[in-house]
Structure 1
């Protein structure tokens, strides 16, 4: 019989409700056993078998809880992750990992001391468009990439949200919230850059946290990677644009998994989970084997469940950990350097 790992979920806000709980319950080896909800019982309506507890301490004290998943605001990740590791639990934490690289270093060291698994939920590595781009590059379909742009734009010109991400302070704002995903994808594809420059601003009147960024990552081989986000984009452009010495790949649209999860679907109850409609497939214009090729490439179906499948397999000794905490720490370090670049108005060399 397959070994079962009992999971305790801290927080049932948007991240816990829309992402973690439905994906965790789609992995056969994971048993969502307890959910920390301070004042409500919302999770029990969808998962009637779970036990609702009011304090994270209940998870830490329970010897049957193997894995603690932290989905609280990133500004207090350190406290919950530290306490869970000290209670000898494996830990998955929502991105961004921490507000500073120093905090990340502390948690990584503690996980090593306790011999426990620590990983950050960088689920966008399992977006279908990103998975497709990775295959395009690995197969050399557009040659050596020289320039690319990743965008995460929206149209929300009025700053009216009271969400923690919109408040002032370290660890808030769109660079931590969305930029960390684009940084993680860029580093996965191209490695750690040599230099970084950044323009980080508040565009919307009344906003307290930065809501715009334009980052440039500089690499050897004359590669430049631009990462951008704005809340003032009413007409969306491409999400991904890549130009290589053999051709180009351009992709519009957002991975469908997030909306499917919000709508109540899960990888376990959906026949075509993560499959993108043909009208959103990316376009390629390139040369293969001396032949000019122009058309579309079918998007690989996204698979957020594979993140938690890997967590299960790593804890049970079957697979290596895919999202390592050191990688998530690097993303935070690049955010720190981006903010430094913006403040000083110059290109900053990467200092790990």
Structure 2
């Protein structure tokens, strides 16, 4: 099997949880380099990875083929550009960049260099999102009229992370953090909208970056999609609510890959590493072809973030489609920018 050398730009939570374990367990990848500015925490689990003290040092001295830019979003533009100019393919954490202008510049540079640029949209591989895709593909709901996707938390106290909570730093706040997932999922499920309205603000106060947003996406077929997130949600809502002219589907957010990874569980290659659910996590209620109502409890199949890296590997080795290419995710950045504009102007924004 062809071995692909990869370098991580940071070894914080993102590196420890979402990237290094999958690179270690996938036989086609070798994490040969990691940036740790002062510590050497990676040595315990990844002793074969050379530690560099800066991204510049890694790019100048490492022979990695792929660089994972998993630093704070405010540094994404600088480090992705640096890696591309050094001739490296790039995986960049979501959100892609702080605005659409930066995203467009990076995509153009990658095309000029003949390199790939993929955005790590890992929640395309969540069990609950995959179940919604399956239900929509089955077309039992008929023509979709309304949908809501939520990602709520109960985190009423500040985290102390300036790059996420300082309102003076572009790219901080929930809209770039969780909104990048919800917007991506909406576009994947329903396509790019005609216009939007956004309400974005901080429930904790103006000294903190936005921690609440509600977005309404308007589609030409008169469908509406609402995206919502709050950090003051003690009781869980259904994460996905889909209504069509033949029925409805409600899906809980049940993917627990992140929880297992944080606890130290290692993913496995070539099979689902998460256990099946013991209980149902969805409700499907629709009118069948005989005019009869069918209401069933549904259970989603395990998700698997390893499939993202498998698709990256197949793109490198076999030339298969690149997962979440930067050129595609530019659309998400356009919607994030439009949300801020809409919230500030308190008006609907028409999209190109």
Using structure 2 for the length normalisation, give the TM-score.
0.95
Structure 1 contact 124–130 (Cα < 8 Å) conserved: yes
Find the counterpart in structure 2 of residue 330 from structure 1: 331
Find the counterpart in structure 2 of residue 31 from structure 1: 30
Find the counterpart in structure 2 of residue 48 from structure 1: 47
Structure 2: distance between partners of 1:135 and 1:299: 9
Find the counterpart in structure 1 of residue 259 from structure 2: 259
The residue correspondences of 1:156-235 to structure 2 (distance < 5 A) are 156-168=155-167, 169-205=169-205, 207-235=207-235
Q: Deviations over 1:244-284 (max 9, x none)?
A: 11111111233111111111112228975234523352111
Helix, strand or coil for the counterpart of 1:106? Answer: helix
Find the counterpart in structure 2 of residue 298 from structure 1: 299
Judge which range, 226-235 or 292-301, deviates more: 292-301
**What's the offset of the Cα at 1:160?**
4.6
CA RMSD between the two structures: 1.6
Helix, strand or coil for the counterpart of 2:131? Answer: helix
Structure 1 contact 158–205 (Cα < 8 Å) conserved: no
Helix, strand or coil for the counterpart of 2:31? Answer: strand
Structure 2: distance between partners of 1:174 and 1:120: 18
**What's the offset of the Cα at 1:300?**
2.2
Q: Deviations over 1:185-222 (max 9, x none)?
A: 00001100001001101101474201000000011222
Find the counterpart in structure 2 of residue 319 from structure 1: 320
Structure 1 contact 256–276 (Cα < 8 Å) conserved: no
Helix, strand or coil for the counterpart of 1:279? Answer: coil
Q: Number of aligned pairs? A: 350
Structure 2 contact 254–281 (Cα < 8 Å) conserved: no
Judge which range, 266-275 or 24-33, deviates more: 266-275
Structure 1 contact 216–227 (Cα < 8 Å) conserved: yes
Helix, strand or coil for the counterpart of 2:132? Answer: helix
Find the counterpart in structure 2 of residue 93 from structure 1: 92
**What's the offset of the Cα at 1:70?**
0.6
Structure 1 contact 249–285 (Cα < 8 Å) conserved: yes
Structure 1: distance between partners of 2:323 and 2:55: 27
Structure 2: distance between partners of 1:66 and 1:97: 20
Helix, strand or coil for the counterpart of 1:237? Answer: coil
Helix, strand or coil for the counterpart of 1:46? Answer: coil
1:21 paired with 2:20, answer yes
Structure 1 contact 101–332 (Cα < 8 Å) conserved: yes
Structure 1: distance between partners of 2:332 and 2:161: 26
Structure 1: distance between partners of 2:109 and 2:210: 31
| Residues 268/198 of structure 1: CA separation in 2 closer, same or farther (3 Å cut) | same
Structure 2 contact 33–62 (Cα < 8 Å) conserved: no
Structure 2: distance between partners of 1:183 and 1:160: 24
**What's the offset of the Cα at 1:90?**
0.5
Structure 2: distance between partners of 1:289 and 1:296: 19
Q: Extract unaligned runs of 5+ from structure 2.
A: none
**What's the offset of the Cα at 1:326?**
1.5
Find the counterpart in structure 2 of residue 289 from structure 1: 289
Structure 2: distance between partners of 1:59 and 1:297: 47
Judge which range, 203-212 or 24-33, deviates more: 203-212
Find the counterpart in structure 2 of residue 128 from structure 1: 127
| Residues 52/102 of structure 1: CA separation in 2 closer, same or farther (3 Å cut) | same
Structure 2: distance between partners of 1:241 and 1:316: 39
Judge which range, 52-61 or 211-220, deviates more: 52-61
Using structure 1 for the length normalisation, give the TM-score.
0.95
